[in-house]
Amino acid sequence: MFKKLSILLSMLFALAFFAVSCSSDSSSGGENYDGDSSSSNPNGDAGSSSSEGGSSSSQQTAGLKIGFVYFGTDAQSAGTNAFVEIYNPENFEVTLDGKYSLQYKSIQTGATIGQYVTQETTPDWLKLDLVGTIPAKTSFLVNMGASGSENDGGLTTNGRLDLSGKVFDQEFTEAASKLHNKGVKVVLLSNQNLLSNDVKNPFYHNGARVPGYLDMIGLSGNDATGYPDIDGCEGSVNNDAALLDENGEMIKVICMKKDTQNGQSKQKGFARISQTGTKYADTDNNLVDFVMVDFRVSDMENACLLPRGKADGAWSQPSPCVLPTPPSSSSSSTNATGGSSSSSLEACTPPSDYSDLVLNEISGNNKYVEIYNSGATDICLTGVKLDRNNGGSSWTGRAGDAIPAGEYRIFLFNSFTPAGLETNPAYVGWTVGSGISSGQTLRIALIAPDNSIIDLFIRGDGTGTGSSTGVTQDTDNTYSRMPDDTWAYAVATPGAENEAGTGNIENPGYLTADP
């Protein structure tokens, strides 16, 4: 009997040990909206707790993420402090001392910028060696302007994001002058080695990530001219030899273009929230992993759109984030009829097939491009790009941007609004930074989030140089798509079905695909 009792007690002990082990390893039930906390980081180091059960957090490399960035630099800024939020998605506390660094660089050029960090005033990367700890599922907030410095924003009527009482976890004290708010790169590394000046894109330097790479964000400014496009970010690797940067060199990674609507400014921050509302999700693509938050109009009660630090505790997200209103649909951007300037206020799901989306009318005289959804279902434009002359200027769809089935949308170039278009239902406030002309060669491309061409209009040789040499100009008509998918001159019909062609496009003609 004693033998049977001994066997029974052994079985009960084994079952209890198994139950405790399962409990310690399992996650809570329900859908997770906190991002992926179990994946390995880019260096191949395990991003989970040790199998030995209790190894020090300082011995593990964590897959830290940039959760939120904002660079307000003067009294007209929407926020009182510039900041970078770092998020720890792991299930263990991370010790930062001696191992992790945050590095910053501005791509702005021009010594006339004065006290701002520019390529002239500070040509090298700026580095902050991180110290302290970050508990599991918690953020670490870096003040990118030390208290009382010129980097702090101002408490003016624009200062809706008042962080004057916020508890910051560390101060970025390396910068001797104001951090620039247009065209910056912020990088997280699992080492404290200063990046060399020849590293333009740590995500894709000489075809690979730099040693210790964890995460980065690269942002272009909101000015259509006067500032360069950002030259480093996380994004899709480009395989199109025709896609060139402003210097005529092939673009290696698809990054944000400078743009009046979507670009970075002292009024706007960028939060890591997926297009489906998951905070801190990471797909290694800045264009889809971050949403723009305009602090002049954003919901200050929405925790997803506010920076977090250690004092705010662990992040918990039982439901998807409510995404910020797209810039074209904010209360400060309505059309003349008083209607919202967005086709949708909710996040939308990008389709697998964009073939129903076509360039329909291009007017160099009235400076607009019309896109038509010829299908029977709405098409989400999140991540879709309308590009002029190989990156000369562009528009990129944000969360909620869509074209309903059977409808048209007008994009104005260089903020030019010809008579009548401001009240046209097809105009919802979408603009592209630079102009187009009926007297120049032209390349207009509609590009999918994976960088494939959806539709393309070329007048000339496809180089997108904007040359006027030998161009025959028609100042009365637009370039219009015909029912057989060819193009011809026709009377302008913005927001409506195209008229019959009035003549051929000549000298030079046009192509419908890359030459």
Rg (CA), the chain: 26
Q: pLDDT at position 152, please?
A: 43
Q: pLDDT at position 306, please?
A: 95
**Rounded Cα distance, 345 and 169, in Å:** 34
Q: What domains does the chain contain, in order, with CATH numbers?
A: 31-324 (2.60.40.1260), 357-511 (2.60.40.1260)
Tell me, what amino acid is at 448? Answer: A
CA distances in angstroms from 145 to 70, 83, 271, listed in the order given = 11, 8, 19
Residue labelled with tokens 């263990």: 92
Host H or E run for residue 294:
strand 290-294
CB under 8 Å to 158, separation ≥6 — which residues?
76, 77, 78, 267, 296
Buried b (16+ CB within 10 A) or exposed e, 381-395: bbbbbbbbbbbbbbb
* Secondary structure class of 311 (helix, strand, coil): helix
* Secondary structure class of 313 (helix, strand, coil): coil
CB under 8 Å to 345, separation ≥6 — which residues?
325, 326, 329, 400
Tell me, what amino acid is at 465? Answer: T
Consecutive 10-residue runs of the chain (515 residues): their mean pLDDT?
51 48 39 48 36 47 94 77 94 95 81 54 84 97 63 48 90 66 88 93 91 93 69 80 62 72 78 91 90 84 95 91 61 28 54 94 90 94 88 79 92 67 80 79 90 90 75 88 91 92 84 54
Residue labelled with tokens 């995500």: 203
Relative to beta strand 379-380, strand 385-388 is unpaired
Strands (DSSP E) contained in 120-210 are 126-129, 133-134, 138-143, 170-171, 184-189
**Rounded Cα distance, 380 and 349, in Å:** 6
The Cα angle at residue 284 between residues 280 and 287, in degrees rounded to 5 = 85
Q: How many CB atoms lie within 10 A of CB 124?
A: 12
Centroid of chain to Cα 188: 17
CB contact at 8 A, 456 and 444: yes
Q: Which two tokens stand for residue 492?
A: 């302008």
Q: How many CB atoms lie within 10 A of CB 446?
A: 20
**Strands of the 126-129 sheet, one edge to the other:** 126-129, 101-106, 184-189, 213-219
Q: How many CB atoms lie within 10 A of CB 77?
A: 25
Q: Which two tokens stand for residue 280?
A: 């801190």
The Cα angle at residue 255 between residues 189 and 433, in degrees rounded to 5 = 140
CB under 8 Å to 206, separation ≥6 — which residues?
none
